[in-house]
Structure 1
């Protein structure tokens, strides 16, 4: 699919709305994704209301796409619906545990990727917000998510109003392992990351941030250990509050 080979993240959108019938059709098609035990352990919260987008924005570090995109989709791991069905059918569910969260999160992420692929094939642009798992407690509150429902991915969607450069990707040889995992030698690491490190924009990042290497941009500025530990604690606490950990 050309839309996959040429895909890029879209952060600026036209004011044109997405028809409900198109959005619902794309969502329904995306639900054909593989799912654990055919249970469909996910829900999607569709946000179109501007006031609701404003309420969601702080959880996503106020990235402008959240309030400027016509639609924001929050994909959730959901064992609430299935557990209610079980109890109404005289079956006692046992899904208040981490493995159940992981199963539901996997279901939700498979659907998320299906939706993104379908949306782009139909002329829409998307931006994946990794901030969802940084501040899940805020999203739970804004979207009024009940027990056994946990946000795992947020996508902003709209008709593109930009065509940015396509981001780089690591070579196939750096990612694919035949038969068993083959650990990386220092020479292999140099080769795998050579192109990324050679890009002018990445060299510029190193220069303006006064770091010695591009890797230090990630470890010391963008994804710091202290931040990861703080957000991990928020994630653990929210999982417990949502009933996935005792």
Structure 2
């Protein structure tokens, strides 16, 4: 698919509406994704209302795509629906545990990627927001998610109003391991990251952030240890709150 080869993250959208029929068709097709035990452990909350998008924005650090995109989709790990079905059919569910959350989160992320691929092939643009698991408690409150439901991914959707450069990718030989994992030597690391480090825009990031290396932008500025630990604690509390703590 050429749309996969040429994909890029879209953060600016035309204000043309995404027809509900098209969106529902793409979502239905995305639900053909592989799923744990054919249980379909996911739900999707569709947000179109401007006020609701504005209320969602703080959970995503007020990234402008949340309010400017015609549609915001929140993909959730969901064991609520399946557990209720079990209870109504004289079966006792045992899915209030961490492994069940991982199974449901995996299901939801498989569907998310299916949707993104299908949406881009249909001419839509998407932006994946990794902030969903940083502030899940806010999203849970706003979307009124019950126990055993946790948001794991958010996608903004609309018709593109930009055509940015494609982001760089590591060479395949740095990612693929034949038969067994081959750990990386210092020289291999140098080779794998050489192209990324040599890009003018990345050299500019290093310069304006006054760091010595590109890696330090990730460790010292963008994804700091203290922030990771703080948000990890928050996610643990959310999993307990939503019933995945056994």
Residue matched to 1:85: 85
Residue matched to 2:241: 241
Deviations 1:67-86 (A, max 9, x none): 00000000000000000000
Q: How does 1:134-145 map to 2 (within 5 A)?
A: 134-145=134-145
Q: Look up the SS of the partner of 2:160 in the other structure.
A: coil
Structure 2: 5+ residue runs without aligned partners?
none
Using the TM superposition, give the Cα deviation of residue 106 of structure 1 relative to its aligned residue in structure 2, in angstroms.
0.2
TM (normalized to structure 2)?
1.00
Using the TM superposition, give the Cα deviation of residue 224 of structure 1 relative to its aligned residue in structure 2, in angstroms.
0.1
Q: Look up the SS of the partner of 2:150 in the other structure.
A: strand
Residue matched to 1:157: 157
Using the TM superposition, give the Cα deviation of residue 8 of structure 1 relative to its aligned residue in structure 2, in angstroms.
0.1
Deviations 1:171-201 (A, max 9, x none): 0000000000000000000000000000000
Structure 1: 5+ residue runs without aligned partners?
none
Deviations 1:72-124 (A, max 9, x none): 00000000000000000000000000000000000000000000000000000
Residue matched to 2:216: 216
RMSD: 0.3
Residue matched to 2:33: 33
Using the TM superposition, give the Cα deviation of residue 15 of structure 1 relative to its aligned residue in structure 2, in angstroms.
0.5
Partners of 1:161 and 1:208 in 2: CA distance:
28
Using the TM superposition, give the Cα deviation of residue 51 of structure 1 relative to its aligned residue in structure 2, in angstroms.
0.5
Using the TM superposition, give the Cα deviation of residue 7 of structure 1 relative to its aligned residue in structure 2, in angstroms.
0.1
Q: Look up the SS of the partner of 1:59 in the other structure.
A: helix
Runs of 4+ deviating beyond 3 Å: none
Partners of 1:103 and 1:190 in 2: CA distance:
36
Q: Look up the SS of the partner of 2:92 in the other structure.
A: coil
Partners of 2:229 and 2:63 in 1: CA distance:
22
Residue matched to 2:44: 44
Residue matched to 1:14: 14
Partners of 1:229 and 1:135 in 2: CA distance:
13
Deviations 1:37-59 (A, max 9, x none): 00000000000000000110000
Q: How does 1:177-216 map to 2 (within 5 A)?
A: 177-216=177-216
Q: Look up the SS of the partner of 1:244 in the other structure.
A: coil
How many pairs align? 246
Partners of 1:206 and 1:162 in 2: CA distance:
26
TM (normalized to structure 1)?
1.00
